[in-house]
Amino acid sequence: MSFELPQRGYVFWPVGNGDSTTVVIDSDAHLQVDLNHLEQSEDDEDPTWAVVDELVNLLPTKDGRPYLSAFALTHPDQDHCRGFPKLLEEVDVGELWFTPRIFREYNKDLCDDAEAFKEEAERRVKATIEADGDPGAGNRVRIFGYSELLNEDEFQGFPDARITIPGSELATVDEADVSSTFRAFVHSPFKDDDAGERNDTSLGMQITLIDGSGNLQALLLGDLSYPIIKRIFAVSKGDDLAWNVLLAPHHCSKSAMYWKDEDDSKEQLKQHIVDEMDGASGDPNRVVASSNTVPSSNELGDNPPHAKAKTQYETITESFLCTMDNDDPIVASLENGEISFAGAPTPSKSASEAAREARGSNETPRDAVTYGRG
Question: Do the beta carbons of residue 36 and residue 27 sit within 8 Å?
Answer: no
What's the CATH number where 254 sits?
3.60.15.10
Helix axes 271-279, 226-235, angle to 10 degrees: 50
Burial class, 278, CB count within 10 angstroms (exposed 0-12 / middle 13-18 / buried 19+) = middle
Q: Is the pLDDT of residue 6 over 50?
A: yes
366 inside domain? no
Domain count, the chain: 1
3-state secondary structure of 169: strand
Q: Is the pLDDT of residue 36 over 70?
A: yes
Q: Per residue in 102-149, pLDDT tens? A: 887 766 689 999 999 999 999 999 999 999 989 999 999 999 998 787
367 inside domain? no
78 inside domain? yes
Q: How does residue 215 score in pLDDT terms, banded at 50, 70 and 90?
A: very high
User: What average pLDDT does the segment 264-269 reach?
Assistant: 90
- Domain range for 256 is 9-357
Q: Per residue in 194-208, pLDDT tens? A: 667 888 889 999 999
For the chain, what percent of residues have pLDDT higher than 70?
88
371 inside domain? no
Q: Per residue in 309-330, pLDDT tens? A: 999 999 999 999 999 998 899 9
pLDDT at 345: 59
2 inside domain? no
257 inside domain? yes
369 inside domain? no
Q: Per residue in 48-98, pLDDT tens? A: 899 999 999 999 999 999 999 999 999 999 999 999 999 999 999 999 999
Half-sphere exposure of 254 (CA within 13 A, CB side): 19
374 inside domain? no
- CB count in 10 Å sphere of residue 63: 6
